[in-house]
Structure 1
Amino acid sequence: MESLATTAEALSVHQEINRTSVPFPDEAGVNELFEDCAARHVDAVAVVHRDRKLTYGELNELANGLADVLRTRGVLPGDTVGVCVERSPELIVGLLAVLKCGAAYLPFDASWPDERLRTLFGDARCRRVLTDRNEALSARFPECEVVPAVYAEPPRGRTNPVVPVRSHDVAYINFTSGSTGKPKGVPIQHHAIARLVFGAVYARLDAHARLLQLAPVSFDAATFEIWGALLHGGTCVLYPGKNLRLSELKRVLDEHRVTVLFLTTALFNTVVIEAPETLGGLDTLLTGGEEHSLKHMAKALQHYGRDRLVSVYGPTECTTFATFHPVRELRPEDPALPIGRPIQNTRLYVVDGEKLCAPGETGEVLLAGAGLSPGYLGMPGITRQRFIDRDVAGRPERLYRTGDRAYLRADGDLVFQGRQDDQVKISGFRIELGEVAHHIRSHPTVKQSYVMATELATGEKALVAFVVPHGEDLTPEGLRTHLRTRLPGYMVPSAIHLRASLPLTATGKVDRRVLLSSRPGTTGVTPL
């Protein structure tokens, strides 16, 4: 095993920030942890959705009943079950039922293109789908067995299934954008979920916690929102609508006395500017997914005070959150908001080449600890590139290379400095510009293309594409239609500009500055 070179100064600051080890239940599956919790909190409210409430006892019985149905359909330990259910109690029942079978759940959105979903199902070896859209999905994917998630008389079971589930078994699979044009499957193990929500240093998670479930279940923030409540005896409050309205958000937060909320950076900025009173009743407001605007954070500090805001950071490969930074002040000398220190049972290293960085030196952020994924599904080459083994001052570590650049301040806080590659985050979704460009180039009338992220007048980011067509038949709307059959909506560029050629710099690279200055509407991108 190779060793990282280090100095006394670099080693000292890393040893200080990486004292994060705390006890957590790392030998049990999430299903067992939930069942133990349900036995202790039988009559406590587990899930709230509109005017419906399920106690822990009711939720456990419904999940047992659905697990029996899945097992009679042939679901075995180690299988993968697709889950496509609207945000509802049935969604939570379904996730638990899959785990009670010893299987992993693969959450997906029915609006994603068929071609992309078939790729996901194939990579994850998913042959069954649990859904509330039985006929529609049966017609689209006849190769998959469709299992109903909603019943007029839901099956119940008083006895928990006796299924062997180990803590290192896969609990769920998220897919992220891939630079090669193919999404990457990221399996997450049971013990990684336990590491995220037990002994949490970034928010109070206990039987009194009430968490809002707002994120799409295919987005890894949902892992925190659901299991942060249901493994502690707290309440998971399901946001009632598909589309967010700030007036509705305020009503739900106030009516159900939500204590902890996570918002993506873009949504946080919108709420802070348009309706800051929406979040006034929270104990803890977590926000992350993109680099924070100091202007928006200053307004939030002024409105909410210094003991309620927490910035969080983490890639999917490290199970939702990896670092946290309680925002108590904004120092005039700081050019950016720190992303903080590692959360419990997580370690981070800033590395330049094969050398551990001292404070102030910029390098790549490498993560270690119980939250790491075992690797990408069916991609051994990329797994070897991103997950590496190194010796750090006598300590063997399995490390995930994030591709994020940062430096440590003298006090140990991590400050983000951008990406090493062309990956961007927009509204919390991770997007590889190379994947978008790959699908643009696959159009038969596209000669050249260049995709970038640009900043809107509101401070949010958007994708924009510049395309050199073959002939005169290509239109922006025609290209969007092509992309919508291959990519989720959030990966389709907000604006597509057709050009006779792409300007180049003296070194032969595409000149971003010239492109941006010459596009129509230089003050921002016109949304679809």
Structure 2
Amino acid sequence: MGVTAEAVTCPAAALAVHREINRTATPYPRDSNVVERFEFWAQRRPDATAAVQGERALSYRELNRFANGLARELHDDGVGAGTPVAVCVARSPEMLVALLGVLKCGGTYVPVDPQWPDERLRAVLVDSDCARVLSDRPGALAERLEGGACRVLEITERTLVPVNANPTCPVGPESIACINFTSGSTGRAKGVPILHRGIVRLVHGASYGPLDENSRVLQVTPVTFDIATWEIWAALLNGGTSVMYPAEFVQLSHLDRVIKAGGVNILLLTTALFNSVVDEAPEALETVATITSGGEAHSHRHMTKAVQTYGPGRVVNLYGPTECTCIATHFPVDEPPRPDMPLPIGRPIQNTRLYVLADDARRLCGPGETGEICLAGDGLAVGYLGRPDLTEAAFVHRRIDGERERLYRTGDLGRLLPGGDVVFEGRRDDQVKINSFRIELGEITHHLNSHPLVKQSCVAVRDNQGDKSLVAFVVPTGPDASPARFREHLTTKLPRYMVPAQIHLCERFPLTPNGKIDHRALLTAHVSPATSGECIR
């Protein structure tokens, strides 16, 4: 505790409401790691179904034995406490074996996506210091990583070897379980190390919905997305069943069949997928008891239709950054949201605390006052991997109401309602959420500006009645420039979801009276529903 904790000014009215919403302490196995919780259920319910995907199912006994076998193989290969191992495995029971196998020998799993551009994939492997990557397509991945320091190890149904004895896991609850990478404003993704304790806290004693041995949890999100942390461990650390969507891309008609055939009774959908289901296939969720959704701000229209379709007590709005292990707040949506205000993100979940702070995180805000949302509790990450500058800026120590708190400054703005619920009110920087992916606009402009034909660039967000998309504007250096060339450049640097839907060439950028680029004027001049500019999809 060597870091000085500055005292926060706490006006009486502000302190009273913060005390009320932060009464979230709930008993849970705080001193256990992820492996211990999984093995508890493997011993208690060995024949229960741990995972099902189509016609294939694995019991807890089978999943545990296969993970033991992989752990032994990894241990013999030198994986021990804190060793990072990349996992590049399609959604499948083998993916679960890979995650558990890494954890059982004390390692840290690093999810990576085979569809990332080579440059991003290699950068993540280097930044996380991975010398090994588990893959179900080892040949193709090895070709892409040729010449690098990362070896590819095959994991397929054919290579699994069951072992009965559980290895001794050499790590504790404060060890790093996984590293999730998010967009970074400097042009390089940021690694967020997540603790075992953070995951255990996320899925035990949940205030946002029932999680127990009867839970059948949909697993549909890519493992590289932080929501997958909840999907996977909400089932496996509670003795429930992970119902795994069998394909890479989601089709709503297939999703309906998977949910019903798998008996899914709780799920977490990204805002974008939730909106699509509510609009096009609302019947897909009619049998799901608890429907949670989050990732970006919800539209009133979709939430109103959801409540009218599914009724009260079933729909929950969630909020939370990767740095707080996926979920930080919840708000049960039991009636259509008021049209004159944003849908609340609610109150902090179990063993999580929330403060709305002003004056550079030095004063508590009272009801009605806008400030920065800051989070505390057992879900906080340790910081940013290899980035002490970013860690020091985002993770701060404060003394609030006589107690020392380590806070994560989210950069999100919010205000407390008189009853204690929090309303999200945007960002204080250029970070945005598009289809529930967190994107730093600065990362896109960084890579655009690195192209020799770009003199100046900027990226904005087009919002068409809740349907958000990225739009880029470029002042080129010469006549050879084209949107297609810039698209090709970006696709070699960034994941597909970060490549702007449209790129427009401009002679110059309009400026606001204070000399900044006028994004609104650019969007008005170049983008409209009838725009026929070059689309990049």
Common fold, TM-score beyond 0.5? yes
Instruction: Report SS of the residue matched to 2:86.
Output: strand
User: What one-letter code is carried by the residue in structure 2 that aligns with 1:381?
Assistant: D
| The one of 509, 523, 526 aligned to 1:502 | 509
User: What one-letter code is carried by the residue in structure 1 that aligns with 2:513?
Assistant: A
| The one of 368, 377, 381 aligned to 1:369 | 377
| The one of 457, 468, 475 aligned to 1:461 | 468
2:122 corresponds to: 118
2:409 corresponds to: 401
Instruction: Report SS of the residue matched to 2:10.
Output: coil
User: What one-letter code is carried by the residue in structure 1 that aligns with 2:502?
Assistant: A
How far apart, CA to CA, are the structure 2 residues paired with 1:375 and 1:520? 38
User: What one-letter code is carried by the residue in structure 1 that aligns with 2:112?
Assistant: F
1:448 corresponds to: 456
How far apart, CA to CA, are the structure 2 residues paired with 1:166 and 1:442? 43
Tell me, yes or no, if structure 1 residue 352 matches structure 2 residue 358. yes
Instruction: Report SS of the residue matched to 1:126.
Output: coil
Report deviation, 1:523: 5.0
Q: What percent of counterpart residues are identical?
A: 54
Q: How many residues align?
A: 527
| The one of 18, 21, 25 aligned to 1:17 | 21
| The one of 463, 478, 487 aligned to 2:485 | 478
Tell me, yes or no, if structure 1 residue 3 matches structure 2 residue 7. yes
Tell me, yes or no, if structure 1 residue 133 matches structure 2 residue 137. yes
User: In terms of mean alpha carbon deviation, does 490-499 or 147-156 score higher?
Assistant: 147-156
Contact 1:330/1:337, CA 8 A, preserved across alignment: no
Query: What are the Cα deviations for residues 456-481 of structure 1, in whole angstroms up to 9, with x where unaligned?
Result: 35x22110001000001111111011
1:96 corresponds to: 100
User: What one-letter code is carried by the residue in structure 2 that aligns with 1:417?
Assistant: E
Give the TM-score normalised by structure 1: 0.98
Instruction: Report SS of the residue matched to 2:179.
Output: strand
Query: What are the Cα deviations for residues 437-465 of structure 1, in whole angstroms up to 9, with x where unaligned?
Result: 100000011001110111135x2211000
Report deviation, 1:333: 6.5
Report deviation, 1:522: 4.3
Instruction: Report SS of the residue matched to 1:383.
Output: helix
User: In terms of mean alpha carbon deviation, does 206-215 or 72-81 score higher?
Assistant: 72-81
How far apart, CA to CA, are the structure 2 residues paired with 1:167 and 1:244? 34
Q: CA RMSD in A?
A: 1.2
2:86 corresponds to: 82
**Structure 1 residues 473 and 352: CA distance shift in structure 2, 3 A:** same
Instruction: Report SS of the residue matched to 2:78.
Output: coil
Report deviation, 1:75: 1.2
Contact 2:180/2:226, CA 8 A, preserved across alignment: yes
| The one of 220, 223, 248 aligned to 2:226 | 220
User: What one-letter code is carried by the residue in structure 2 that aligns with 1:356?
Assistant: L
| The one of 333, 337, 344 aligned to 1:338 | 344
1:289 corresponds to: 295
Contact 1:193/1:319, CA 8 A, preserved across alignment: yes
Contact 2:503/2:536, CA 8 A, preserved across alignment: no
**Structure 1 residues 287 and 331: CA distance shift in structure 2, 3 A:** closer
Contact 1:70/1:147, CA 8 A, preserved across alignment: no
User: What one-letter code is carried by the residue in structure 1 that aligns with 2:405?
Assistant: E
Tell me, yes or no, if structure 1 residue 55 matches structure 2 residue 59. yes
How far apart, CA to CA, are the structure 2 residues paired with 1:203 and 1:7? 33
User: What one-letter code is carried by the residue in structure 2 that aligns with 1:389?
Assistant: H
**Structure 1 residues 520 and 367: CA distance shift in structure 2, 3 A:** closer
Contact 2:173/2:196, CA 8 A, preserved across alignment: yes
How far apart, CA to CA, are the structure 1 residues paired with 2:502 and 2:178? 34
Report deviation, 1:513: 2.3
1:492 corresponds to: 499
How far apart, CA to CA, are the structure 2 residues paired with 1:483 and 1:508? 28
User: What one-letter code is carried by the residue in structure 1 that aligns with 2:494?
Assistant: L
Instruction: Report SS of the residue matched to 2:345.
Output: coil
1:205 corresponds to: 211
Query: What are the Cα deviations for residues 275-334 of structure 1, in whole angstroms up to 9, with x where unaligned?
Result: 211110000001111111011111111100011000000000000000000001235364
1:324 corresponds to: 330
Contact 1:456/1:523, CA 8 A, preserved across alignment: no
Give the TM-score normalised by structure 2: 0.96
Which residues of 2 match residues 21-40 of structure 1 at below 5 A? 21-40=25-44
Q: 4+ residue runs of structure 1 moved beyond 4 angstroms?
A: 522-527
**Structure 1 residues 257 and 428: CA distance shift in structure 2, 3 A:** same
